[in-house]
Amino acid sequence: MSRSIYKFGTPWSVTLRPRRLFQKSGASRRGSVVGALTHFMGKPSSITSRNSRIEFPFTLDDQENLRVAVQEQTGQVTQLPQPDSLENPDSSNGSATSLRKKGSRKFLSFSNIANINNNKNSNSSTSKKQKTLVPTTFMITIEDKNQILCIFRQISDFIDFDQQLRIEFPKFRPTLPSLDDRRKSFILTKHFFFRKSTAEKLESYLRKVVGDSNLKNSPSLREFLSVRPEKDYIRWKNGALNKQTLENRVCASSSSRIHSKPHKPSIDDYELMKVLGKGCMGKVFLSREKSTNRLYALKAISKEWVIYRQETDHTKTERDILAAVTTITHPFIIRLRDSFQDNNHLFLVLDYYPGGDIATQLAKWHKFDDARCLFYAAEIILGIEELHRLGIVYRILDTNTFCGTAEYLAPEIIRAEDYSYPVDWWSLGTLMYEMMTGITPFWAEDQNRMYQRVLEDELEFPDGMLQEAMSLLHGLLQRDYRNRLGCGPNGSMEIKTHPYFDYVDWDDVYHKRICSPYIPTIDHETDLQNFDDTFVRMSPKLSMPKQEISPSMQQHFAGYSFSDKRKMLRSKSSSRVKSNVDRKSVSSSLAGIQSHGNRTSVYQHGYDQSYHDDYSEMLYHHRGVDIASDNKHSRCGDDISEFELDQNCYNRYTVTAGESNKNHHHFQNPRVSQYTLDGLWH
């Protein structure tokens, strides 16, 4: 069996975790691109009828909140029908029969197997045609504000459905596209060209069907999307319901709505399964929400540690920013689902992205190929753009302490000058350089020497780099931010229109219509092969403080709670209302940056862009200070407490990351820098 069970037809994407790339005071010890298999890609504790089909439970009236995604999976192994069996329906197994029934070249060309294509083109290669075939299964996810439906269909089902629709609507219907299952490529010829994958074609076909006012109530559609026994499932967003409830609900009128009681979230709602990683302020656990069986990344921050590190402002800011960006939907910005606290910890519940992080990927590959660099860079740029548009800006709160990644700091920060949005374009340049070459541009073992290099050294490139890439990096790594690419009157458009991105359709990037050049292997829902073993081997438990947190100290953490779900229940149109508020916040923050001119004109993606696909996201972290490797050498696999671990790390000065010893990361920068959201926190 193939190791890679999950293959996506929809593009593999990158989501920015906002604070990582932007150097707020949290240390970025372990930068991360967390590749995307979405948390509900595996089967959550959903409700599935084992006995009979359950009617498709959506009214399809609320088109605005409707999301449709089709992702490719591999199915069970079956035999490809032999040529004569195409004529003789009785000579093959079940799947082949279904192939035969469709009996069309078109269908054969749908299959995701190269030898199927041979079948079409060559009469002399019949033996090849008899090879084992893995028929492609597609996971269709339909989501509205209340529920998520996950069903599994094969091409033959689509064809059946399409034929039914033809009968039902002879005159008007979207056409099932011609499918050849060649994925949208990200191939380097000059640069790149794109082609739609089968899943993407099916997705757009299905979107048209469910969005069509005539078709949406069609019995064929409802039959096609009905919840079938075994694999398919449906989950309500406001908590799991039992099967009986589901069936009642399905039978009930479409206008009925189920309201769950307000529930105060607590750590008892989650099962801590594994440790995924560790940052400056906390440990991140793979966690399962008990009520829904859904996986999340749960970040636990020790209050004792926060107090010890005097990082209360930082932790509040992190929470504020995450909460603020949750009010918008952007494909490359992570979503905070909940934040809450108990006596000892602060908790952030984030969407889980199981594909690993960029530090781990870079440690494995040393550097990325051109297509991969371009792909990540394009998505990161859209993420940065959005954060800037939201007015998320960088501020120094204190110069006494700093836990962050020194390598990405822009010269103006090192020089302790005023700084703002342009620092992110410098960080982007540094990260891109690192992805392309395997090392940051001004790396030095000694931190002060590195700062000196950032301020003084000439930018040099290894042989063999693309001309356009060098030109872009040259633009981004301009010491004077006024000359930096992205910092002129056209803002980020200067970067997006750079020749390096000549072949990038930014709309495709935004809508995840581009298949990632690299898809991490994920064998099952809780497969952690893309995470660092050092963490994964730790026992997943919370560390307890050495002494109680005093009530006066507890007050520092007041107001930490947040829930995306509750907000969704409270207000149907909260995001639109909030959008206006954010616009103001953005423009006010932008107004302060005289040198940037009118940035608002350059943003392509307005707030009305409500489509948000979190089915196939890749969470992006930039590469940061990596304690993982350090701990491998020092206390490999130990179940040391967060506090001890942190103490251990902070007592060390240099941490080595990656396979090669080229990448050394430093912390204990004497500055504190802080991302803040204008108007929310100072």
Ligand X SMILES: Nc1ncnc2c1ncn2[C@@H]1O[C@H](COP(=O)(O)OP(=O)(O)OP(=O)(O)O)[C@@H](O)[C@H]1O
Sign of dihedral through CA atoms 668, 671, 672, 673? negative
30, 196, 335, 665: which one contacts ligand X (CB under 6 A)? 30
Task: State the nearest-atom distance from the C-beta of 288 to ligand X, in Å.
Answer: 13
Q: Applying CB under 6 A, does 666 fall inside the site for ligand X?
A: no
Please report, as residue ranges, which positions from 505 to 564 form the binding site for ligand X (by CB under 6 A).
Answer: 531
Helices 358-365 and 627-635, packing angle to 10 deg: 70
Task: State the nearest-atom distance from the C-beta of 352 to ligand X, in Å.
Answer: 5
Q: How many residues does the chain have?
A: 682
Please report, as residue ranges, which positions from 300 to 339 form the binding site for ligand X (by CB under 6 A).
Answer: 334
Task: State the nearest-atom distance from the C-beta of 354 to ligand X, in Å.
Answer: 7
23, 28, 543, 585: which one contacts ligand X (CB under 6 A)? 28
Task: State the nearest-atom distance from the C-beta of 282 to ligand X, in Å.
Answer: 5
The first and second tokens of residue 268, run together, are 């008892």
Q: Applying CB under 6 A, does 155 fall inside the site for ligand X?
A: no
CA 78 to each of CA 87, 108, 114, 185, 208: distance values in angstroms, whole numbers, following the listed order: 18, 14, 15, 27, 31
Q: Which stretch binds ligand X (CB under 6 A): 21-29, 540-548, 571-579, 657-665?
A: 21-29
Task: State the nearest-atom distance from the C-beta of 400 to ligand X, in Å.
Answer: 18
Sign of dihedral through CA atoms 50, 53, 59, 64? positive
108, 113, 210, 276: which one contacts ligand X (CB under 6 A)? 276
Task: State the nearest-atom distance from the C-beta of 543 to ligand X, in Å.
Answer: 14
Spell out the residues 6+ positions from residue 365 whose beta carbon is closer than 8 angstroms to its own: none
Q: Applying CB under 6 A, does 392 fall inside the site for ligand X?
A: no
Query: How far is it, in rounded angstroms, from Cα 380 to Cα 15?
Result: 7
Contact in structure between 638 and 357 (CB atoms under 8 Å): no
47, 140, 155, 281: which one contacts ligand X (CB under 6 A)? 281
Query: How far is it, in rounded angstroms, from Cα 674 to Cα 444?
Result: 24
Q: Which is nearer to ligand X, 276 or 382 (CB)?
A: 276
Amino acid at 647: Q
3-state SS of 132-167? EECCEEEEEEEECCCEEEEEEEEHHHHHHHHHHHHH
184, 196, 299, 665: which one contacts ligand X (CB under 6 A)? 299
Please provide the distance, in angstroms rounded to a whole number, between the alpha carbons at the two ends of the chain.
Answer: 54
Q: Which is nearer to ligand X, 401 or 471 (CB)?
A: 401
Contact in structure between 318 and 348 (CB atoms under 8 Å): yes
| Strand, coil or helix: 521 | coil
8, 12, 18, 29: which one contacts ligand X (CB under 6 A)? 29
Q: Applying CB under 6 A, does 37 fall inside the site for ligand X?
A: no
Q: Which stretch binds ligand X (CB under 6 A): 99-107, 275-283, 513-521, 643-651?
A: 275-283
Q: Which is nearer to ligand X, 299 or 319 (CB)?
A: 299
Q: Applying CB under 6 A, does 280 fall inside the site for ligand X?
A: yes
Q: Which is nearer to ligand X, 86 or 625 (CB)?
A: 625
| Strand, coil or helix: 85 | helix
Please work out the total of residues on this chain that contact ligand X, with binding judged by CB under 6 A.
29
Task: State the nearest-atom distance from the C-beta of 5 to ligand X, in Å.
Answer: 19
Site string for ligand X, 607-636 (x = CB under 6 A): ------------x-x--x------------
Contact in structure between 637 and 365 (CB atoms under 8 Å): no
CA trace torsion 316, 311, 583, 601 (10° rounding):
-150
Q: Which stretch binds ligand X (CB under 6 A): 76-84, 274-282, 418-426, 586-594?
A: 274-282
Query: How far is it, in rounded angstroms, from Cα 2 to Cα 131?
Result: 15
69, 284, 336, 504: which one contacts ligand X (CB under 6 A)? 284
Would the annotation count 299 as a binding residue?
Answer: yes
Greatest CA separation found in the chain? 82
Q: Which is nearer to ligand X, 34 or 176 (CB)?
A: 34
Q: Which is nearer to ligand X, 110 or 368 (CB)?
A: 368
Q: Applying CB under 6 A, does 297 fall inside the site for ligand X?
A: yes
18, 42, 277, 658: which one contacts ligand X (CB under 6 A)? 277
Spell out the residues 6+ positions from residue 651 whose beta carbon is closer than 8 angstroms to its own: none
Q: Chain centroid to CA 598: how far?
A: 30
How many C-beta atoms lie closer than 10 Å to residue 45's C-beta?
Answer: 14
Q: Could you tell me which residues are beta bridge partners of residue 151?
A: 140
Site string for ligand X, 344-383 (x = CB under 6 A): ------xxxx---x--------------------------
Sign of dihedral through CA atoms 285, 290, 296, 301? negative
CA atoms within 13 A on the CB side of 110: 26
Binding-site positions for ATP read 299
Q: Which residues bind ligand X (CB under 6 A)?
A: 19-20, 26-30, 32, 34, 276-282, 284, 297, 299, 334, 350-353, 357, 531, 619, 621, 624
